[in-house]
């Protein structure tokens, strides 16, 4: 008898029929003797519908009073789906109760629309579990110290589930989603992509940050911090699949590094084309330059990803970074009008037609030559590398976006990701 947390995404909760399937699956786990806590997302489309109404009423609002109401509004989607799941479980003959974030309570800070969980009081939940009830904890939301409703940002239900699992020391947190696990890369780009049976927390973090949308990145950080055993699996397997088989399906995110020593050096290829590249050319190479450029960008609330500064020549250097493609024009404009004049730099150029491709693998730590193998592979395909950025377990390159699929396929093959490891 273990404490298990299930999390179901919006697609899995998308209709009464699907909610009924979720209830049957959860009931199966409960009947197998587990203490079950379930965190559902809002029914798919619901959050967008609600935020669309708000946008229609106030297209240009951006202050705390507005975000507070936006959170109160958006939180209703999950509250409704939680109550519906409790009702569906009851209809399956399974005692069940749902709690909104404030009822648990899940305490957060007051950063509306992107709040962070500070504490979870599990007294009430434990009492219900002891009484034989399945407990539905509403995802995506919490309550701040003043009793205001907060939300955790897009995908926040993942974080809710992991945080609940961490607070309650659950045996495992199962994230049911519309894919059946984490793949070596996107199967839509590389048909030979393989599902990983396990992936290390650090690799998952790099893949999540690279647009592999399986899990919200914050939930992965949380799982790492509290070492929550996390499994990503499909909610579209039949609900009555054998439970032992189900418990081994999907991809397990692990924390014991030893387990991985024998594994492939590169676990996956991540990529995204959501970014754009900006370069400030001919910058006088003196202290404070990076801050002068990126400080202004941060003040404008633009997130920066890859940052590269080349060595200087004749007292001048080139400074490049990538931003979300949606922020490209605004950032370019900002640099040209407000930063360039005081900087004594030559010019600001940019390119939105780029993509970032990364190889990710915890084995890279202890192996040399992985990056150069990547560069050779790309060179053999005639792909020019515009920017390079490395971390301990990841090497990323920025290339022309038209080569993205080609690069991903070539790298997937070069690192033998299509082969089942022995």
Binding site for a second copy (CB under 8 A): 16, 19-20, 23, 50, 53-54, 56-58, 61, 65-66, 68-70, 72-73, 75-77, 79-80, 82-84, 86-88, 90-91, 95-98, 100, 102-103, 147-149
In whole angstroms, how close is the CB of 68 to a second copy at the nearest point? 7
CB-CB contact of 396 with 390 (8 Å): yes
In whole angstroms, how close is the CB of 63 to a second copy at the nearest point? 8
Q: Return left, alpha or beta for 379; rule: phi > 0 is left, psi -120 to 50 is alpha, else beta.
A: alpha
In whole angstroms, how close is the CB of 75 to a second copy at the nearest point? 8
In whole angstroms, how close is the CB of 403 to a second copy at the nearest point? 44
Between residues 41 and 79, which has the closer beta carbon with respect to a second copy? Answer: 79
In whole angstroms, how close is the CB of 106 to a second copy at the nearest point? 14
In whole angstroms, how close is the CB of 117 to a second copy at the nearest point? 19
Between residues 95 and 307, which has the closer beta carbon with respect to a second copy? Answer: 95
CB-CB contact of 411 with 359 (8 Å): yes
In whole angstroms, how close is the CB of 394 to a second copy at the nearest point? 40
Between residues 67 and 271, which has the closer beta carbon with respect to a second copy? Answer: 67
Between residues 148 and 209, which has the closer beta carbon with respect to a second copy? Answer: 148
The rounded distance, in Å, linking the Cα atoms of 92 and 400 is 53
Between residues 80 and 332, which has the closer beta carbon with respect to a second copy? Answer: 80
CB-CB contact of 6 with 26 (8 Å): yes
Q: Which two tokens stand for residue 152?
A: 């955790």
The rounded distance, in Å, linking the Cα atoms of 84 and 81 is 5
In whole angstroms, how close is the CB of 124 to a second copy at the nearest point? 8
Between residues 124 and 273, which has the closer beta carbon with respect to a second copy? Answer: 124
Owner of token pair 């491709």: 357
In whole angstroms, how close is the CB of 190 to a second copy at the nearest point? 40
Q: What are phi and psi of 251, to 5 degrees?
A: -125, 130
CB-CB contact of 46 with 80 (8 Å): yes
Between residues 140 and 201, which has the closer beta carbon with respect to a second copy? Answer: 140
Between residues 130 and 368, which has the closer beta carbon with respect to a second copy? Answer: 130
Between residues 83 and 111, which has the closer beta carbon with respect to a second copy? Answer: 83
Beta-carbon contacts of residue 60 (< 8 Å; ≥ 6 apart): none
> For residue 306, with 0-12 CB atoms within 10 Å meaning exposed, 13-18 middle and 19 or more buried, which class applies?
middle
What are the C-alpha distances in Å from 374 to residues 93, 102, 309, 401?
55, 49, 21, 17
């Amino acid at each position: 008898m273990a404490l298990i947390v299930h999390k179901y995404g919006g697609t899995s909760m998308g209709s009464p029929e699907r909610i009924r399937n979720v209830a049957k699956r959860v009931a199966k786990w409960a009947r197998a003797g587990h203490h079950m806590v379930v965190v559902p997302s809002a029914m798919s489309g619901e959050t967008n519908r609600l935020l669309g109404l708000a946008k229609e009423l106030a297209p240009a609002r951006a202050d705390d009073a507005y975000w507070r109401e936006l959170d109160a509004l958006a939180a209703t989607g999950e509250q409704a789906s939680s109550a519906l799941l409790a009702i569906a479980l009851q209809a399956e003959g399974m005692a069940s109760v749902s709690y909104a974030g404030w009822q648990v309570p899940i305490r957060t800070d007051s950063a509306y629309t992107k709040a962070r969980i500070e504490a979870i009081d599990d007294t009430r939940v434990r009492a219900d579990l002891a009484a034989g009830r399945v407990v539905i904890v509403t995802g995506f939301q919490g309550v701040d110290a003043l009793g205001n409703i907060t939300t955790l940002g897009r995908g926040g239900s993942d974080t809710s589930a992991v945080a609940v699992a961490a607070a309650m020391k659950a045996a495992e947190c199962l994230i049911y989603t519309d894919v059946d696990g984490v793949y070596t890369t996107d199967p839509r780009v590389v048909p030979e992509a393989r599902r990983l049976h396990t992936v290390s927390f650090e690799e998952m973090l790099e893949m999540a940050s690279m647009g592999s949308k399986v899990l919200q990145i914050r939930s992965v950080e949380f799982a790492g911090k509290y070492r929550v055993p996390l499994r990503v699996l499909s909610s579209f397997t039949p609900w009555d699949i054998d439970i032992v088989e189900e418990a081994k399906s999907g991809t397990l995110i692990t924390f014991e590094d030893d387990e991985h020593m024998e594994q492939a050096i590169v676990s996956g290829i991540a990529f995204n084309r959501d970014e754009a590249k900006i370069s400030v050319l001919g910058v006088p190479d003196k202290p404070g330059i990076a801050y002068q450029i990126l400080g202004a960008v941060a003040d404008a609330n633009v997130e920066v990803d890859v940052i590269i500064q080349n060595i200087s020549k004749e007292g001048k250097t080139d400074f490049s970074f990538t931003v979300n493609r949606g922020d490209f024009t605004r950032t370019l404009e900002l640099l040209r009008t407000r930063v360039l004049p005081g900087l004594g730099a030559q010019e600001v150029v940019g390119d939105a037609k780029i993509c970032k491709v990364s190889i990710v693998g915890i084995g890279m730590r202890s192996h040399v030559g992985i990056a150069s193998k990547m560069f050779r592979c790309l060179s053999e395909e005639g792909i020019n590398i515009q920017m390079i950025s490395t971390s301990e377990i990841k090497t990323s390159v920025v290339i022309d976006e038209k080569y993205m699929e080609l690069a991903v396929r070539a790298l997937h093959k070069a690192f033998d990701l299509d082969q089942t490891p022995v």
